[in-house]
Amino acid sequence: MSENPIDDLLRHPVSFLDDSGPDGDIAISSRIRLARNVAGHPFPPAASPSEREELCEEVTAAVAGIRVLGGPGAACFSPGTMSDLDCRILLERRLASKEFFARKPGTRLFVCPQEACSLMVNEEDQIRLQVIRPGLQLESVWREIDVLDDELGKVLEFAFDDRLGYLTSCPTNVGTGMRVSVMLHLPALVLAKQIAPTIHGIGKLHMAVRGIFGEGTENLGCLFQISNQSTLGESENRIIGNLDRVIKQLINCEKLVRREILEHRRTYLLDYVGRAYGLLKYSYTLSEKEALNSLSGLRLGADLGLFQDIDIKKVNALFVEISPAHLQKRAGLELSSEACNEFRAAYCREKLRQSA
Amino acid sequence: MSENPIDDLLRHPVSFLDDSGPDGDIAISSRIRLARNVAGHPFPPAASPSEREELCEEVTAAVAGIRVLGGPGAACFSPGTMSDLDCRILLERRLASKEFFARKPGTRLFVCPQEACSLMVNEEDQIRLQVIRPGLQLESVWREIDVLDDELGKVLEFAFDDRLGYLTSCPTNVGTGMRVSVMLHLPALVLAKQIAPTIHGIGKLHMAVRGIFGEGTENLGCLFQISNQSTLGESENRIIGNLDRVIKQLINCEKLVRREILEHRRTYLLDYVGRAYGLLKYSYTLSEKEALNSLSGLRLGADLGLFQDIDIKKVNALFVEISPAHLQKRAGLELSSEACNEFRAAYCREKLRQSA
């Protein structure tokens, strides 16, 4: 391990983007997080810095006994002592949330070696446990996080009400405290202008659709996070089963439209994909939005077999690597927005040269 | 010669685009045309088809004695017997005008082997003689057309008034009957948003600025035709001298701005050029406008030494070859606008692969 554990993270691509999971051509990642609080401690929004610090120590002691999060190779981050840039790296890798960094002193983040499991202390809730894996595999992610939750529950007494279930800071999380989300790449539905009615339909099923960077963010790169909205009155298995069913329908729908476009609008598709590739390969300034949308086009092309000599894992890794903080860490200096766009273009050109 | 002389034309690129002329990086071509009428014959707008046909025969007999236009390798076209598509080929190669084809029976076009000299019979005037050469070389073009004019004048009696000069159908051509125009590629002035005031300034000097396809056409591919507006009361040498001086100023201006952009906005320039190249290389549908603008970007990049392995002559030839009629002749069939855009993209991709 190096002095700054952020540098260790940056040494390998985000593992949930490694395209190895089931239905990986459309389902980017499956993620479950559990919200937990420890009985007898005030919830973070009401806790003083010293109370939060105290809780951090208690959770750190508990985590030390759990191999995945406290064992060799795992990392521990204390945002209070970290630079803004380093915090944004954790954000861009989906290991932490904006809310987490808004309350810096008395917070902590534990990350397992491959980043699949992580635990935030004193985000909105005292404990936010997360497991994220490539592809659509909610069942196995659930088994994994359930084991971690049980292990933690043996050493920490969670705030629990027999009638309501797990107690949380925000009432929308009370009950299971669980948020299940799947990130989908839906370029064909976007191209065929079927995404708006699709999102509308999902909303009616009490599921939420969000952009790549969570709540309130724009759809970029045709990436959508679909997640459950209710946490109360349903078992974890039922929530997961419902979401899994909807996601599978969405995947089938995207596959169908991909085939349709490939068959009936082949030139349109080739043009869309080709222009995306040309932009990544030859532009000298690229905004994050343009880069994500171009990567989306390139990935669609690769999924459809139009770029057989392109290393799709390198393309996937770019989805995170072209984020501003990642680029600045790589450049080794703070970059203005303009300089960042130039560095992003140079980075994409270089990566595409390597992978072509 | 093949059965259809249009096929002979299509066998070689348009010679005025061969980039061999003086100041060829900015001045695409120098062109002079003379309007002449034969005494004792009605002007074309007032002539009947049989009167026009009669004149065609007279001019054909005269041309037969002029080596350049009537000798071996020269071609003669009779629009009345030609397909629309073939007529549009002549238009796209700048050998004829829209007005010429509006009056089909009783018109004729003579073209010398390399297309530098041509003569339309019964356009707006009975005779429209044209010489076009690459680069900025108005003096030599003038000497060339002056010789042809003299040769013709020996066998045909031109309508001439001692006070007014040559008589023409439209009063704006009376006098010298001469239109001198230079086609300039001015991408830097366009990029630096200095083209509008520049055009405004040229207008004040009684010169006209037009797009690539003549009067009333949009600026495409940053190509501009600058020409004299008055034909009366000035000698040919003075008209040419004035235009030459203005063109040289414009060329210097464009060169200056190119250097400025290359020095101070290098990334912007590289991005502009790179995106143009990417579009030509990877798109699967390209409108004529997009193709011309991209070719302009690529040519600018090549002029500035950013594409040392690209054959600039192939790029130049594309400026004409991507025109709709040329593409349809090459495809061997009539193409819908959509199919034409697809064929254009395929043609550009192929040419860029060959020249890279």
- Report the C-alpha gap between B248 and A336 in whole angstroms: 40
**pLDDT for the residue numbered A217:** 56
The mean pLDDT of A314-334, rounded to a whole number, is 93
Which one-letter DSSP state was computed for residue B100? H
For position A229, what pLDDT does the model report? 87
Q: What is the pLDDT of residues A115-144, one digit of tens each?
A: 999 999 999 999 999 999 999 999 999 999
Is residue B215 predicted with pLDDT exceeding 70?
no
pLDDT at B291 over 90: yes
pLDDT at B213: 62
DSSP state of B132: E
Q: Is B34 exposed, middle or buried (0-12, 13-18, 19+ CB in 10 A)?
A: buried
CB proximity list for B253: less than 8 A, separation 6 or greater:
B189, B194, B198
Q: Chain B contacts of A278, Cβ < 8 Å?
A: 275, 277-279, 281-283
Which of these, B334, B318, B348, B350, lies nearest to B92 by C-alpha position?
B318
- Interface check for B279 against chain A (CB to CB < 8 A): the answer is yes
Residue B49 forms contact with A (CB below 8 Å): no
At B48-107, the pLDDT tens digits run 999 999 999 999 999 999 999 998 889 999 998 999 999 999 999 999 999 899 877 899
Instruction: Report pLDDT for A356.
Output: 61
Q: Averaged over A244-250, what is the pLDDT? A: 95
Q: Nearest CB to A279: which of B267, B278, B285?
A: B278
Query: Distance of CA A217 to CAs A102, A210, A224, Å?
Result: 18, 7, 10
What is the average per-residue pLDDT within B313-321? 90
Q: What is the pLDDT of residue A285?
A: 98
pLDDT tier at A215, thresholds 50, 70, 90: low
pLDDT-above-90 percentage for chain B: 76
- The H or E element that residue B296 is part of is helix B288-303
Work out the mean pLDDT of chain A and round it to a whole number. 92
- Is A284 in contact with B274 (Cβ distance < 8 A)? yes
CB atoms within 10 A of CB B43: 17
Q: Are A351 and A279 in contact (CB under 8 A)?
A: no
Give the highest mean pLDDT range of A205-209, B5-9, B200-204, B319-323: B319-323
Q: Is A278 on the interface with B (CB under 8 A)?
A: yes
- CB within 8 Å: B285 and A278: no
pLDDT for res B224: 94
| Secondary element (H or E) of residue A252 | helix A236-264
Interface test with B, best of A264, A268, A283, A348 (most B CBs within 10 A): A283
Best of A271, A286, A348 to disrupt the B interface (most B CBs within 10 Å) is A271
pLDDT score for A306: 87
pLDDT of A218 > 90? The answer is no
Tell me which chain A residue has its CA closest to the CA of residue B278. Answer: A278
Closest Cα in chain A to B275: A283
User: Out of B270, B274, B284, whose CB is closest to A274?
Assistant: B284
pTM passes above 0.80: yes
For residues A246-283, one letter each, b for 16 or more C-beta atoms within 10 angstroms of the residue's C-beta and e for the rest, the string is: bbeebbebbeebbeebbeeeebebbbbbbbbbbbbbbb
As a whole number, mean pLDDT of residues B282-304 equals: 95
**What number is the average pLDDT over the span A209-215?**
72
Q: Is residue A216 over pLDDT 60? A: no
CB neighbours of B37 closer than 8 A, spacing ≥ 6?
B43, B125, B126, B127, B158, B159, B166, B167, B168, B169
- Token pair 């700054």 in the structure block, residue: A4
Partners of residue A342 in chain B, C-beta under 8 Å: 267
Instruction: Note whether A153 contacts B: Cβ–Cβ < 8 A.
Output: no
Rounded to an integer, what distance in angstroms lies between the CA atom of residue B287 and that of residue B323?
A: 10
Predicted confidence (pLDDT) at residue A1 exceeds the cutoff of 60? no
For B126-136, what is the mean pLDDT? 96
Question: CA neighbours within 13 Å on the CB side: how many for B165?
Answer: 18
Q: Tens digits of per-residue pLDDT, A5-39?
A: 899 999 888 888 887 889 989 999 999 999 999 99
Give a three-class secondary structure readout of B63-92.
Answer: HHCCHHHHCCCCEEECHHHCCHHHHHHHHH
Closest CA to A223 of A213, A214, A211, A215: A211
Cβ pair A268:B283 closer than 8 A: no
DSSP secondary structure string for all residues of B222-290: TEEEEEE---SSS-HHHHHHHHHHHHHHHHHHHHHHHHHHHHHSHHHHHHHHHHHHHHHHH-S---HHH
Q: Check residue A334 and give its pLDDT.
A: 93
Yes or no: say if B156 and B63 are a contact pair by the CB < 8 Å rule.
no
End-to-end CA distance of chain A: 32
| DSSP per residue, A293-340 | HHHHHHHHHHHTTS-TTS-HHHHHHHHHHTSHHHHHHHHTS---HHHH
User: Count of alpha carbons within 13 Å of B93, Cβ hemisphere only?
Assistant: 29
Q: Which of A261, A262, A264, A285 to mutate to test binding with chain B, by most B CBs within 10 Å of its CB? A: A285
For B104-122, how does the pLDDT look when each residue is reduced to its tens digit (9 = 90+)? 789 999 999 989 999 999 9
Which pLDDT score is estimated for B315? 86
Condensed to tens digits (0 to 9), the pLDDT of residues A79-106 reads 989 999 999 999 999 999 998 998 778 9
Predicted confidence (pLDDT) at residue B143 exceeds the cutoff of 60: yes
Q: What is the separation of C-alpha B96 from the centre of its chain, rounded to a whole number of angstroms?
A: 9
- A38 interfacial to chain B (CB closer than 8 Å): no
CA distances from A323 to A188, A291, A337, A343, B348 (A): 24, 9, 12, 11, 34
Region B170-197 average pLDDT? 93
CA distances from B42 to A3, B152, B168 (A): 95, 19, 11
Does residue A188 sit in helix, strand or coil? Answer: helix
Mutate to test the interface with A, among B265, B275, B304, B341 (most CBs of A within 10 A): B275
Nearest-CA residue of chain B relative to A281? Answer: B278
Terminal Cα-to-Cα distance of chain B (whole angstroms): 32
User: Do B282 and A274 lie within an 8 Å CB cutoff?
Assistant: yes
Strand partners, B181: B31, B227
pLDDT at A21: 86
Give Cα B164 distance to the centre of its chain.
Answer: 28
Average pLDDT over residues A316-342: 95
Q: Where are the alpha helices (DSSP H) in A119-235?
A: 138-155, 187-191, 195-204
Touching check for B264 and chain A: CB below 8 Å?
no
Cβ partners under 8 Å of residue B156, min gap 6: B36, B38, B58, B59, B62, B127
Are A275 and B283 within 8 A, CB to CB?
yes
